[in-house]
Amino acid sequence: MSCQRCGAQTPDVAYFCQVCGLDLRTGDLTRRKSFAVKPDEPVASFNLISTIMPRGAGQRPQTYRIALGIGLVVALVAAIFGALPVAILVAAFTIPIVYIVYLYDVNLWEDEPVLVTVAAFLLTGVLALAFTIGWIQLRPTVAETPAFGGGTASGPGLSGFLLVAIAVPIIGQILTQLGPVYLASRPKFDDLMDGLTFGVISGVAYSTFDTLVRHSGALFGGLGSNEDPATWVGLIFLEGLVKPLIMGTAAGIAGAEFSGLGRGYDGFTLRYARGFAEAVLANIAYAAGAYLFSFLSGSKGVILTLLWGVVILGVLILRVRNVLHTGLMEAALEAAARSDASIGAAGELDFCAACEMPLVAGAAFCNACGTAVRTGPRQHADGRQADSRQAQPAAVGAPPSAAAGAPPGQVPGQIPGQVPGQGPAMPPPGAPEPHPSSQPTPSKPGRGTTQGTDQEGQE
């Protein structure tokens, strides 16, 4: 049986193509009903473990679910009995500890645990601690952040809203990107799932230390509290589960877009800018709701903030799953394209102008979206591709083809089709000359391309 997407030969009993991952039993060409990380789940699902822990989703997902559940139960019991320092500490560190155990289980740090832990967790934690203490201590009185249950009688103000709901989320998101960007730029950690994971752990670290600072009064105030138990139960769910997952998934989206796919990392591209903007908007939406709801009296503010956070978290989970699924399917197509001997592991790939998926060798249509290859940019009159690729400069006196590198099996300077020692090969009689528009779409800039400068005016 032949795969209708990549043309690979698959066994008759196969459910999925072993090369591109296409669902062979249904007409679902995009596999929206079968998540690439966990095929028994649809892409549009709210399953938390397979979203933020993709590498361990198919092995022992229940282990992580049970660990998260135990942590939240312990925090809730401590809050109900008035042991607020214990409740806050357990709620703040439950997700980070479970996630670090996950990193150990899947060896995501490539035998460099100190570097990954410091760069992805401790660095962000220290920065978050210093930043949160700074903006809370230095804020003007009119921008004072109220406590849940009604902290001020004046109500929300413009300066307070701009500080708490706009400035702090933007700066916080920048801080959460420092560690993941550094790690994802290293060759060992440039995979899409690595960038996602580092972003998640960094966002969770920021949330952890932000929670410790915001609730430092209860943390160091001993047992007992004037708040009713319903308020603290809601706060445990909010600060121990919803808020860290919002910040983690938001930072994970940006980290995944920075890593990109294929050889190397994509870096600061438009896709990363879009992912970073989505992360910032999600954090602003959550912070704005939390700020406004905090002026309500009693436990109403906490409950409304919790519900608002759950809505934002649901949207972020769906977005993360879509990024993961699309990225893994694209990576499969890239692997299929590189299986061609003329491209190999280090060769240049052509990408669809419409969906940016890799094109297999000799493709006339994109096997991901069906767009005709001829719709891509034309070549320039001098034969240059309409992109950022340029030929490598050749040595003085070297044949022109040496600048770009001769294909395997071709002598440098030899014209394609020419037999060594003879004149250039002539095309068959009546054969039409290739039109520039029939050329494949140029390679996507920034992924494994080699920049150079044309050598002009040499004497």
Q: What is the pLDDT of residues 266-316, one digit of tens each?
A: 889 898 999 999 999 999 999 999 999 988 877 888 899 999 999 999 999
Residue 248 has pLDDT above 50, yes or no: yes
Q: φ, ψ for residue 23 (rounded to 5)?
A: -75, 110
pLDDT at 411: 47
pLDDT at 229: 72
Burial 403-424, CB ≥16 within 10 A → b, else e:
beeeeeeeeeebeeeeeeeeee
pLDDT at 124: 94
Residue 254 has pLDDT above 90, yes or no: yes
Alpha-carbon dihedral sign for residues 442, 446, 448, 453: positive
pLDDT at 274: 93
Between 326 and 273, where is the model more confident? 273
Tokens (6 digits) for 319: 């977005």
As a whole number, the mean pLDDT across the chain is 74
Rounded to whole angstroms, the Cα distance separating 344 from 410 reads 16
Residue 344 has pLDDT above 60, yes or no: no
Between 331 and 43, where is the model more confident? 43
Q: How many residues does this entry show for the chain?
A: 459
pLDDT at 379: 52
* List of residues 6+ apart from 203 with CB closer than 8 A: 124, 176, 244, 247, 248, 249, 250, 251, 252
Between 36 and 154, where is the model more confident? 36
Residue at token pair 């608002």: 308
The segment with the largest mean pLDDT, out of 152-161, 167-176, 378-387, 397-406, is 167-176
Model confidence pLDDT, tens digit, residues 368-411: 666 776 665 555 455 444 443 333 344 444 444 343 444 444 44
pLDDT at 311: 96
Q: How far is CA 383 from the centre of its chain?
A: 36
Model confidence pLDDT, tens digit, residues 85-128: 888 899 999 999 988 888 887 776 666 777 787 878 899 999 99
Between 170 and 344, where is the model more confident? 170
Looking at residues 239-257, what average pLDDT do you find? 93
Q: Evaluate whether 251 touches 183 at the Cβ level (below 8 Å).
A: no
Model confidence pLDDT, tens digit, residues 127-141: 999 999 999 887 654
Give the strand pairing for 358-359 and 350-351.
Answer: antiparallel
Annotate the chain with three-state secondary structure.
CECCCCCCECCCCCCECCCCCCECCCCCCCCCCCCCCCCCCCCCCCCCHHHHCHHHCCCCHHHHHHHHHHHHHHHHHHHHCCCHHHHHHHHHHHHHHHHHHHHHHCCCCCCCHHHHHHHHHHHHHHHHHHHHHHHHHHCCHHHCCCCCECCCCCCCCHHHHHHHHHHHHHHHHHHHHHHHHHHHCCHHHCCHHHHHHHHHHHHHHHHHHHHHHHCHHHHCCCCCCCCCHHHHHHHHHHHHHHHHHHHHHHHHHHHHHHHCCCCCCCCCCHHHHHHHHHHHHHHHHHHHHHHHHCCCECCHHHHHHHHHHHHHHHHHHHHHHHHHHHHHHHHHHHHHHHCCCCCCCCCCCEECCCCCCEECCCCCECCCCCCEHHHCCCCCCCCCCCCCCCCCCCCCCCCHHHHCCCCCCCCCCCCCCCCCCCCCCCCCCCCCCCCHHHCCCCCCCCCCCCCCCCCCCCC
Rounded to whole angstroms, the Cα distance separating 168 from 456 reads 51
pTM over the 0.85 mark: no
pLDDT at 160: 83
Rounded to whole angstroms, the Cα distance separating 276 from 84 reads 35
Cα 287 to Cα 106, 153, 243, 335, 386, distances in angstroms = 33, 20, 10, 41, 44
Domain boundaries, the chain: 49-338, 347-376+439-445
